[in-house]
């Protein structure tokens, strides 16, 4: 494999392979660092449509500048004429692998990833998607395999190969999609995490929100939002079955999912796009409030949590007079009992 890049990159090591290309870890002698290089498969490079799609992915990611989207460093061709692009080498674990470890009750995984830490991951993903949407770009294939978690708290949304602008099919295209839907994959995305409208070829910010909701649902509950053994079962779940509220999914290690998170995920996973949040900005704000502890009161349970949070904040800011008042309030019943006992002597 060393003959792929001659003097440009050194020590190529295959670290991943997909339908269209391979990913190598290489050394960049110009800057003295390791980078990842994605190379188009030789059989794909013979077809113009694959080369165009590969170049489109490189330009799409290359045009995005966000901490949670890996940057592209350069685009070129190998010595064999195969297109490649170099991007940041990500060190860490993808979300699918982490979820599997959490399912197996790995103590280290559960210690590192309590619900509070998972909320931070959700917040970072919302920020990345909010940025992409501001550029009129949808990811269109959000799933645990496309989320990378770094060793030092980094969160990356990867694989923008099918990204594109919002779009809807024509009436003829929609009819053709519906006829072929039960036979083969006919849409861009992954069925287990797809929004209902995606199956009909419609891609909007709301469909990205749904896919993110399905991904986070699995991260928090360790159960798929759309279970099923066959393609038809999963498709039926996507189209017709509302996922079970996250707070009612059994959790043997960390307890149930907090209600405020459960309600948030439920709205993200509504079947009708208009019933979801208006944009990722609103979703991000909800996760930001949860992360900070200042949650929205949606029931007596969350109202109590919010009141305790506010009391704690006031205690931090005005402890010099709140603490004496609290002590007096706690001691008053004891004082009354002592007086009552003395009066009976």
Nearest one of 277, 275, 180, 274 to 235, comparing CA atoms = 180
Per-residue confidence (pLDDT) for residue 79, from 0 to 100: 80
CA distance 316 to 303: 20
By 3-state DSSP, what share of the chain in percent is helix, strand and coil, each rounded to 5?
A: 50, 15, 35
Structure-block tokens of residue 229:
């053994």
Per-residue confidence (pLDDT) for residue 320, from 0 to 100: 63
Per-residue confidence (pLDDT) for residue 319, from 0 to 100: 58
Structure-block tokens of residue 35:
């980078």
Nearest one of 292, 271, 288 to 280, comparing CA atoms = 288
Per-residue confidence (pLDDT) for residue 42, from 0 to 100: 82
Nearest one of 70, 97, 77 to 155, comparing CA atoms = 70
Per-residue CA distances from 76 to 1, 14, 29, 186, 209 (Å): 17, 18, 16, 31, 34
Q: What DSSP string runs through 95-141?
A: HHHHHHHHHTT-HHHHHH--HHHHHHHHHHHHHHHHHHHHTT-B---
Per-residue confidence (pLDDT) for residue 275, from 0 to 100: 97
What CATH fold (topology level) applies to the domain 2-87? Answer: Phosphorylase Kinase; domain 1 (3.30.200)
Buried b (16+ CB within 10 A) or exposed e, 241-280: eebeebbebebeeeebbbbbbbbbbbebbbeebeebbebb
CA distance 73 to 55: 13
Per-residue confidence (pLDDT) for residue 293, from 0 to 100: 82
CA distance 142 to 311: 39
Per-residue CA distances from 169 to 162, 173, 185, 199, 290 (Å): 16, 6, 16, 11, 37
CA distance 95 to 80: 34
92-292 architecture in CATH?
Answer: Orthogonal Bundle (1.10)
The model's pLDDT over 221-273, given as tens digits with 9 standing for 90+, comes to 999 999 998 889 999 999 999 999 999 998 878 889 999 999 999 999 999 99
Q: How many residues does the chain have?
A: 345
Per-residue confidence (pLDDT) for residue 175, from 0 to 100: 57
Buried b (16+ CB within 10 A) or exposed e, 148-172: bbeeeeebbbbbbbbbeebeebeee
Residue 184: phi, psi to the nearest 5? -160, 160
Q: What DSSP string runs through 59-107?
A: HHHHT--BTTBPPEEEEEE-TTS-EEEEEPPP-EEEHHHHHHHHHTT-H
Structure-block tokens of residue 76:
């070129």
CA distance 276 to 129: 16
Per-residue confidence (pLDDT) for residue 283, from 0 to 100: 98
Q: How many CB atoms lie within 10 A of CB 312?
A: 11
DSSP 345: -
The model's pLDDT over 101-133, given as tens digits with 9 standing for 90+, comes to 999 999 999 999 999 999 999 999 999 999 999
Domain boundaries, the chain: 2-87, 92-292, 303-340
Low-confidence stretches of the chain (pLDDT < 70) are 1-4, 6, 169-188, 301-303, 305-323, 325-326, 344-345
Nearest one of 145, 122, 274 to 207, comparing CA atoms = 274
């Amino acid at each position: 494999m060393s003959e792929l890049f001659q003097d440009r990159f050194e020590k190529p090591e295959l670290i991943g392979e997909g339908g269209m290309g391979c990913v190598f870890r290489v050394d960049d002698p110009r800057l003295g660092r390791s980078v990842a290089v994605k190379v188009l498969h030789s059989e794909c490079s013979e077809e113009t449509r694959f080369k165009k799609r590969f170049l489109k992915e490189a330009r799409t990611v290359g045009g995005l500048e966000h901490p949670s989207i890996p940057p592209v460093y350069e685009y070129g061709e190998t010595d064999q004429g195969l297109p490649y692009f170099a991007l940041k080498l990500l060190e860490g674990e993808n979300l699918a692998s982490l979820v599997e470890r959490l399912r197996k009750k790995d103590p280290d995984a559960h210690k590192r990833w309590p619900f509070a830490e998972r909320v931070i991951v959700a917040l970072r993903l919302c920020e990345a998607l909010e940025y992409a949407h501001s550029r009129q770009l949808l990811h269109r294939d959000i799933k645990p395999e496309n989320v990378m978690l770094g060793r030092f708290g980094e969160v990356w949304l990867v694989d923008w190969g099918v990204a594109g602008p919002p779009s809807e099919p024509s009436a003829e295209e929609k009819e053709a999609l519906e006829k072929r839907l039960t036979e083969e994959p006919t849409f861009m995305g992954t069925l287990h995490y797809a929004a209902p409208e995606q199956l009909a070829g419609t891609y909007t910010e709301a469909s990205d929100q749904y896919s993110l909701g399905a991904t986070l649902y699995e991260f928090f509950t360790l159960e798929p939002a759309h279970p099923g053994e066959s393609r038809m079962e999963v498709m039926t779940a996507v189209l017709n079955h509302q996922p079970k509220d996250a707070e009612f999914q059994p959790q043997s290690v960390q307890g149930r999912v907090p209600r405020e998170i459960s309600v948030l995920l439920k709205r993200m996973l509504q079947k009708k796009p208009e019933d979801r949040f208006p944009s990722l900005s609103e979703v991000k704000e909800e996760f930001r409030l949860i992360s900070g502890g200042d949650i929205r009161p949606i029931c007596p349970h969350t109202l109590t949590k919010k009141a305790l949070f506010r009391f704690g904040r006031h205690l931090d800011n005005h402890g010099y007079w709140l603490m004496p008042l609290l002590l007096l309030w706690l001691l008053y019943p004891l004082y009354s009992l002592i007086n009552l006992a003395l009066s009976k002597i």
